[in-house]
Structure 1
Amino acid sequence: MDSVDFQEAEVPAVVVGDPPKNHWRDVHILSFAFLLIFLAYGAAQNLESTVNTDQDLGTTSVGILYLSFTLFSLVASPMVRLLGSKRALVLGTTGYWLFIASNLKPSWYTMVPASVFLGFAASIIWVGQGTYLTSAARSHAKDSHLHEGTVIGNFNGEFWGILATTQVIGNLISLALLRNGKEGGSLRGKTLLFSVFLGSMTLGTILMCFLHKRDGKREDRPAPSANILSSIISLLKLAIAPLRDKRMQLIIPFLAYSGLQQAFVWAEFTKYIVSPALGVSGVGAAMALYGASGAICSLAAGRFTSGLSSITLIISGGAFLQILVLIWLFLKDSLKTGVLHTVYPLLMAMIWGMGDGVFNTLLNAALGILFRHDTEAVFSQLKVWQSASTAVVFFLSPHITFQAMLILMISALCVSVAGFLFLTLQVEKTFSSGN
């Protein structure tokens, strides 16, 4: 029995409606809708630094995007409570659609406003995703009389496994449509590429509309009040309430690191490791391997999850893999000749993707298992810390050396693992004393 089983007797954070729902069906729909949306956005983000180079428009836009994402994540929880998770998911897709559309006519007047709005849209779509998936898992566990931790792990494993394939599909599409161009492809190739991406996002938005609604009455939702300001303040208090929980305080370093390690791949690894060894065309191959290994590990991690103890063991394995890559990068100067010079960036991308797949799946599963109340607020905190750390990398990258970034990454990973291990011990201690 896992250490958090004692929490299963508590009242679920989301009460589903009376009509029966096919919970696995909703997970499939949610996963493939995100696949269609993020195969376009992920590939577009990878290309921003090469297709929009005028005055660093692409890189600056992405930095603004994640800064906006961080700020709006602070209020995403009350927004999702008011909208409901399904409406938040559908509304959130509009920001991604607008951002891709702005790339058809890239300028400071189109991309910067689109980036700011995407920060808002991303905050509610990701809080909505975490809330919706956790609600579906809890409902399925209850209806089928299954262990809740196992179901949460399985649902997150499928979602993050399918989402990780966006790096493979999106980069292959980019490679196919831009293969004849230089520095991001010809104007015709870019127009065709972003038009295809818009079509993919439109299909993803339509698919999202077929989700069942999963928001019922909430005991912790503030009652309607004539004083709108009081209602907003009450909702904001609920949004920051998780910060007072010691468990959240201990897991925050890992939430931040999960954003750091993704931004490190996008902003640093491809620039300093992949491009010098394989050229710009090799970035697509490396990111495809990164996505493929992440997809496999996400699915596997979800299947082996049964509770906090198993999560801790698998996350430690993912951290070990990324530590190996970071140490390997310190030794890269001695690996500049021979076949290894071509192969090792691809191997690093694959190993790093394995760790990324583990973190994406199991951090979301851990939050779903540990925090049964205030689900929106908990996943809002996840995105606050992830997006803030991602923005830090994009803004810090031009001003520090690659070696300094490696030191930052190693330090952050060590602190994160230590905090998570201590969290596990604290929960185990609470469970033991409760018996």
Structure 2
Amino acid sequence: MTPEGWKLTNVIILGFAFMFVFTAFQTCGNIEQTVIKSINSTRFHGSGYTSLAIIYTVFSASNLLTPSIVALLGYRLSMFLSGLVYSAYIAVFIEPFTWSFYLASVVIGVAAAVMWTAQGNCLTINSDENTIGRNSGIFWALLQFSLLFGNLYIYLAWKGEKHISDYDRKTVYTALTVISLVGSVLFILIRKPDSEPQSTENEISDDEPEITLRTEGCSSQAVAAFKSAINIFFTKDMLLLSVCIAYTGFQLTFLSGVYGTCLGATNHFGDEAKSLIGLNGIFIGVGEVVGGATFGLLNKFLSRYLGIGRNPVVLLGLSFHILTFYLIFLNVPNDAPVVPDAGTSEAAYIIPSKVIAIACSFLLGLGDSCFNTQLLSILGFMYAQESAPAFAIFKFVQSISAAIAFGYSNYLMLQWQLLILCLTAFFGTVSFILVEWKAKANFQGHSYERI
């Protein structure tokens, strides 16, 4: 096989590995709060929302350290060990204790930062300026399929269940642990390319989205990257983009944990309420895949031949989400995010409809892909020479926002959570448009397509 063939194979293996690991983890997060409400044990008093808040807080802070870790271990070993930590977190639910649950939440926050840094490093080493768009699209599509399979099982297995028994919980989490372990093993199968781009001793390579460091220069390069990230963060453009990035963090919390919990707690859905959690995850995944393919893989076509730039796509995402939040406000009881396992029989503004609920799931995923693909595009376009710190800031702001949202999700009624989402979506869109206008003016005459 040619070197280019091996690189493409590595990207495909990377995508499948992430698909397996995140099939397990995202399914775990989607059902976590519902499962915890059903646990009948005096030894466990945890909160799924609190756990996810801890994960994203530690994940955000750990981004400052992970380049050095990846440099020392290499991207394959870094992803393999991180995958094992993901498996351990999921396995905690087989026999849960409060102390092990929160300890695992801290450790997986570090592992997540290491895994995503190593992923960026691996993707860059196996790509060049001609294949990075294709390879990113392949990876994105495979990753988004992770929302389909685990949630399909939840839908079929929990159909008609009103309470999640210990047996059901152990069966599901044992299966998810095994799936995560399969993904971890796949990381070892990634082959080292015949030639890998190297950075000089005193500077970071311009075309790497993550920092590739030589072991002997690890600390100095990490310090240089940290200083560069601080300088970029306090520029006007990045501060404006951070408003939009923060919205993606709030939205991540809502679609990955809160909305599924609301559906499972709505007694008007009858015996299918718990299984709707799985169906919700499936249709979020379908929306993500459709949006990712349309506005990610086809971004060059839309820009070059149809004249559709980034602003119309973000405005489309805003329209999808505002409509979705309004439908959820009408369709789901206000106390659904915070009620105990018995659920809520409170009336919504309309009789809760399963069709509307699942349509909202699809629109949540579709709108989310609009924002994320265009943020990645504009960051790669504006910060091509300093992509590593720019993308580190992206993950930092997004994960901090997600942590804050998981924190308040324990206490705020649905209407207030939706209000926060609407306000941040509007101001995030305005801030994105302002930066995009400036970028278009500054880079006129250059290629105005996704890098």
TM-score class, shorter: 0.7 to 0.9
**Structure 1's 314 and 25: CA in aligned 2 closer, same or farther, altered over 3 A?**
farther
- Which segment is superposed worse, 18-27 or 373-382? 18-27
Residues 1:164 and 2:144 are matched in the alignment: yes
State the shift of 1:62 in Å: 2.1
The equivalent position to 1:189 in structure 2, one of 165, 168, 175, is 168
Match of 1:58, as an amino acid? G
Matched residues in 2 for 1:41 and 1:427: separation? 37
**Percent identity of equivalent pairs:** 24
State the shift of 1:96 in Å: 0.6
**Structure 1's 84 and 239: CA in aligned 2 closer, same or farther, altered over 3 A?**
farther
The equivalent position to 2:153 in structure 1, one of 167, 170, 173, is 173
Residues 387-409 of structure 1 deviation map (CA, whole Å, 9 limit, x = unaligned):
11111111112333322222211
The equivalent position to 1:40 in structure 2, one of 21, 24, 28, is 24
Match of 2:384, as an amino acid? R
Please list, as runs of the form range in 1=range in 2, the aligned pairs for 1:208-227 lying within 5 A after superposition: 208-213=187-192, 216-219=197-200, 220=203
Q: When you count helix as a share of all residues, which structure comes out higher?
A: 1
Matched residues in 2 for 1:189 and 1:292: separation? 26
Match of 2:436, as an amino acid? T
Contact 1:167–1:287 at 8 Å: present in 2 too?
Answer: yes
State the shift of 1:21 in Å: 5.5
Helix, strand or coil for the counterpart of 2:259?
helix
Contact 1:49–1:58 at 8 Å: present in 2 too?
Answer: yes
Matched residues in 2 for 1:164 and 1:360: separation? 12
State the shift of 1:44 in Å: 0.9
Q: Which residue of 1 aligns with 2:280?
A: 286
Matched residues in 1 for 2:262 and 2:166: separation? 27
Match of 1:320, as an amino acid? S
State the shift of 1:209 in Å: 2.1
Contact 1:100–1:197 at 8 Å: present in 2 too?
Answer: yes
Contact 2:82–2:111 at 8 Å: present in 1 too?
Answer: yes
Matched residues in 2 for 1:204 and 1:243: separation? 34
**Structure 1's 370 and 232: CA in aligned 2 closer, same or farther, altered over 3 A?**
closer
Please list, as runs of the form range in 1=range in 2, the aligned pairs for 1:7-406 lying within 5 A after superposition: 20=4, 22-53=6-37, 54-134=44-124, 136-141=126-131, 152=133, 154-178=134-158, 182-184=162-164, 186-213=165-192, 216-219=197-200, 220=203, 233-272=223-262, 275-276=265-266, 277-278=268-269, 279-306=273-300, 310-332=309-331, 336-337=350-351, 341-406=353-418
- Which segment is superposed worse, 379-388 or 238-247? 238-247
State the shift of 1:260 in Å: 0.9
**Structure 1's 199 and 331: CA in aligned 2 closer, same or farther, altered over 3 A?**
closer
Q: Which runs of 5+ in 2 are unaligned?
A: 38-43, 205-212, 332-346
Contact 1:75–1:236 at 8 Å: present in 2 too?
Answer: no
The equivalent position to 1:416 in structure 2, one of 408, 412, 428, is 428
Contact 2:288–2:365 at 8 Å: present in 1 too?
Answer: yes
**Structure 1's 251 and 196: CA in aligned 2 closer, same or farther, altered over 3 A?**
same
Q: Which runs of 5+ in 1 are unaligned?
A: 1-17, 142-150
State the shift of 1:288 in Å: 1.4
Q: Which structure's relative contact order is higher, taking Cα pairs within 8 Å and 6+ residues apart? A: 1
How much is the aligned-residue C-alpha RMSD, in angstroms? 3.1
Match of 1:268, as an amino acid? V
TM-score (norm 2): 0.79
Matched residues in 2 for 1:36 and 1:304: separation? 25
**Structure 1's 32 and 109: CA in aligned 2 closer, same or farther, altered over 3 A?**
same
Match of 2:18, as an amino acid? F
